[in-house]
Amino acid sequence: MAQTIDNINWYPGHMKKTRELIRENLKMVDAVIEVTDARIPVSSRNPLIDEILGNKPRIIALNKSDLADGAACKGWISWFEQQGFPAVSMNANSGSGIKDLLRILERMEREKNASSAVKRPFRLMIVGVPNVGKSSLINRMTGRKSAKTGDKPGVTRGKQWIKLSNGMQLLDTPGILWPKFEDPKAGVNLAFCGSIRDEIMDLPSLALELIGVLSQHYPVLLSQRYKLEEIGEEPLQTMEAMAVKRGCILPGKRIDYERIGRLVLDEFRAGKIGRITLEQPPAPADGEQR
């Protein structure tokens, strides 16, 4: 690749700044919505998130679930719930799953009010790494007619709250956590899904690696999308067969690796190959049921 995942500079200064911002805002909210990419629920989480959020009530939003394997989404929801976090699969662009998310939040609000002498609006913050759909979720939850409620006691200058239709309040400065790669595979998965700028990647090599993953885990979807009679023993064979089927050929009957690489990545990211999850939920421990 033009640049390997593990030496991409993610600016530790940004990481430190956003951690401090989230911790500062955390004091003012009752619950946090952590947005992840349903196709890569582990790779799209900052590994420091548990440490940063501590015991603050949290909901896991598996966004872009329309692009993910439905059975895997159910498995991940069950797994997160086993860890003590309510979870919901959703598509913030279409609004699918938003009602389920609001039901969970309203239940948390009732539980909080039941143990509190003073009732006030339930306050929320949304966090997540870039490109998981935080902005889409905020827009979906607030709507165009959302009204800022103005300054609130204990809110530092410049912070504003957005009032939701159900009376809850959303802090309008969501936390943006920068990725931190403890496992290089997480960086590759983020690159597959478009969370790392294509301009700094070797796209043919990235696409070749994706084809290898899909050949192993979703061979039928790959064959159907590109009308392949069989999947090659090596990803390169499959990639070249796909290029021939799609007419990605240069003069002299040479394979246009750049073009087929871009095409495969674009079609995967758009869900055109099928509903695909690149990370499967862990198997339940002995005695547990999913």
Domain co-membership, 18 together with 77: yes
**61 and 98, same domain (yes or no):** yes
**Strands in 141-264 per DSSP E:** 147-148, 161-163, 169-171, 175-176, 249-250, 254-255
pLDDT value at position 17?
A: 78
Query: 52 vs 16, 18, 36, 40, CA distance in Å?
Result: 11, 10, 16, 21
Give whichever of 3-12, 106-115, 145-154, 268-277 has the largest mean pLDDT.
268-277
Q: Are residues 118 and 241 in the same domain?
A: no
Angle between helices 184-192 and 257-269 (to 10 degrees): 90
Let me know whether 41 and 106 are in one domain.
yes
Tokens of 18: 């956003």
On the 0-12 / 13-18 / 19+ scale of CB atoms within 10 A, 111 is exposed
pLDDT on residue 277 = 98
pTM of the full structure = 0.86
| Residue at 290 is within a domain | no
Give me the mean pLDDT over the 16-26 stretch. Answer: 84
> 150 and 73, same structural domain?
yes
- Same domain for 170 and 234, yes or no, is no
The position carrying tokens 């935080």 is 134
Residue 285 lies in a domain: no
CATH of the domain at 126: 3.40.50.300
pLDDT tens per residue across span 251-286:
999 999 999 999 999 999 999 999 999 999 987 654
Beta strand 254-255 with 249-250 is: antiparallel
CATH of the domain at 240: 1.10.1580.10
Longest CA–CA span in the chain (Å) reads 79
Q: Which domain holds residue 147?
A: 5-176
Q: Which residue has the tokens 């979906």?
A: 140
